[in-house]
Amino acid sequence: MTLGPGDPAPSFSLADDSGAHATLDDYAGRRLVVYFYPKAFTPGCTTEACDFRDRHEAFLAAGYDIVGISPDPPKQLAAFRHKHSLPFTLLSDPDHEVATAYGVWGKKAGGKGGKGLIRSTFIIGPDGLIEKAWYNVKADGHVEHTLEDVAAAGSA
């Protein structure tokens, strides 16, 4: 199951890196980039998170908040956020319920079997509908492409 433009974004209520809960409803009426990443402190996930960090102001200027979701526990997310000075919220999905709802938990492409989190990004509009969905993305360069898309959407 995959999500596409016009589909309702699955709701979530997850612990953030401080242990507080964040929900999709917290972002109602705002545009949101939700990116799923497999594991904090791994090379690809660090590259992706730092790319979002480095372009955070540009996303905000375009009217988008950013949320990262992984299976990591809040304590690990806090360390990851602190070490890399990440200015956006990181959420913990240890049971993969939200990842499953977004269609990003499953057999990984090119994997050697087993299930895992499929690196993916979603743009959610202020109405709670998916505007754009990218599945199975590469960490390097993806954030720049995402920013180009949101900038183009803002000027349309």
State the pLDDT confidence band at 64, using cuts at 50, 70 and 90.
Answer: very high
Residue 78: inside a domain: yes
Residue 20: inside a domain: no
Kindly report the CATH number assigned to the domain that includes residue 84.
Answer: 3.40.30.10
Residue 56: inside a domain: yes
Tell me the pLDDT tens digit for each residue of 67-78: 999 999 999 999
Residue 85 neighbours by CB distance under 10 Å: 8
Residue 127: inside a domain: yes
Residue 17: inside a domain: no
Does the pLDDT at position 115 exceed 90? no
Instruction: Give me the pLDDT at residue 113, please.
Output: 64
> Which one, of 32, 121, 37, 26, lies nearest residue 80 by Cα?
37
Instruction: Give me the pLDDT at residue 6, please.
Output: 96
Residue 13: inside a domain: no
Residues designated as active site: 45
Mean pLDDT of the chain: 92
Q: What is the 3-state secondary structure (H, E, C) of the chain?
A: CCCCCCCECCCCEEEECCCCEEEHHHHCCCEEEEEECCCCCCHHHHHHHHHHHHCHHHHHHCCEEEEEEECCCHHHHHHHHHHCCCCCEEEECCCCHHHHHCCCEEECCCCCCCEEECCEEEEECCCCEEEEEECCCCCCCHHHHHHHHHHHHHHC
pTM for this model (two decimals): 0.93
The structural domain count of the chain equals: 1
**Mean of pLDDT values over 75-95:** 97
Does the pLDDT at position 110 exceed 60? no
Residue 32: inside a domain: yes
State which residues form the domain around 81: 28-155
Residue 6: inside a domain: no
